[in-house]
Amino acid sequence: MKILVAVKRVVDYNVQVRVKPDGTGVETENVKMSMNPPDENAVEEALRIKESGKATEIIAVSIGESKCQETIRTALAMGADRGLHIEVEGIIEPLAVAKILKKIVEKENPGLVLLGKQAIDDDCNQTGQMLSAMLAWSQGAFVSKIEFSGENIQVTREVDEGLEILDLKLPSIVTCDLRLNEPRYASLPNIMKAKKKPLDSLSLKDLNVDITPRIQQIKVEEPPKRQKGIMVSSVEELLQKLKNEAKVI
């Protein structure tokens, strides 16, 4: 069984995001970029499934500008077998990503597609669900545990009431939660080895996908600055301020 893992290049989670002065988006020039954190969990889980003998090949796919190849190389350094880069310029919305991934699935025939539960840049949480609908495959979203049982997988996912366990018939789409595992670091020798692993690049023309945007981004703004807090010297003073100034009690 092949596993396809979708890895997105995003602004690193430690970076203080800055909005561009013209409000057209956030600064990505000279900013540290990394693999979307839950996608690291997806790569890690794919590696563990392969190590347990239930998968034969892991393909890491990323869609976006040419620098996405760095993100694919990270997945290869963690242990993925080969990479696929789909060259697209500019912002690409989840529907377009799902359409492209569908084409890749049709080409590669994986038994399992692993994605992150959400990209930390757009916070959309849509791609996996859309892909599952387009392929008419079973899906488990926000998954924190995957267990194989025969031709199926059992996935545990967090819902409002607690933990839900679903039995999914393969092939399936799973979106991974940060609780799923602890992603491994790529060692230096593996980073060197990853440079020699196959990484193919495809264009939208090769895939014949229409990614005309359906959403128009009007403006990006910084959130309003928070006001400085004040220190009170006693509980009495706090109560008095809550009553007379904030008027919340």
**What is the contact surface with ligand AMP in residues (CB under 6 A)?**
6-8, 36, 38-39, 62-64, 92, 94, 97, 115-116, 118-119, 122, 124-128
Q: Judged by CB, which is closer to ligand AMP: 106, or 167?
A: 106
Nearer to ligand AMP, 66 or 187 (CB): 66
Choice between 209 and 241, CB closer to ligand AMP = 209
* Start-to-end Cα distance in the chain: 61
Give the C-alpha separation, 127 to 116, whole Å. Answer: 9
For ligand AMP, the closer of residues 8 and 102 by Cβ is 8
Q: Encoding tokens for residue 238? A: 């706090």
Output 127 or 181, the one with its CB closest to ligand AMP: 127
Shortest separation between residue 117's beta carbon and ligand AMP, angstroms: 7
Residue 139 burial by Cβ neighbours in a 10 Å radius (0-12, 13-18, 19+): buried
> Minimum distance between the CB of residue 178 and ligand AMP, rounded to whole angstroms?
11
Work out how close the CB of 224 gets to ligand AMP at its nearest, in angstroms, rounded to a whole number. Answer: 25
- Minimum distance, C-beta of residue 168 to ligand AMP, in the bound complex (Å): 18
Q: CB of 240: closest distance to ligand AMP in angstroms?
A: 46
Nearer to ligand AMP, 132 or 138 (CB): 132
Nearest-angstrom CA–CA distance, 140 and 155 = 7
**SS3 readout for 190-247:** HHHHHCCCCEEEEEHHHHCCCCCCCCCCCCCCCCCCCCCCCCCCCHHHHHHHHHHCCC
Residue nearest to ligand AMP (CB): 116
Q: Which residues pair with 5 in a beta bridge?
A: 60, 114
Burial of 179 (0-12, 13-18, 19+ CB in 10 A): middle
Least spacing, CB of residue 133 vs ligand AMP, in Å? 13
Nearest CA-CA partner of 73 in 203, 195, 201, 202: 195
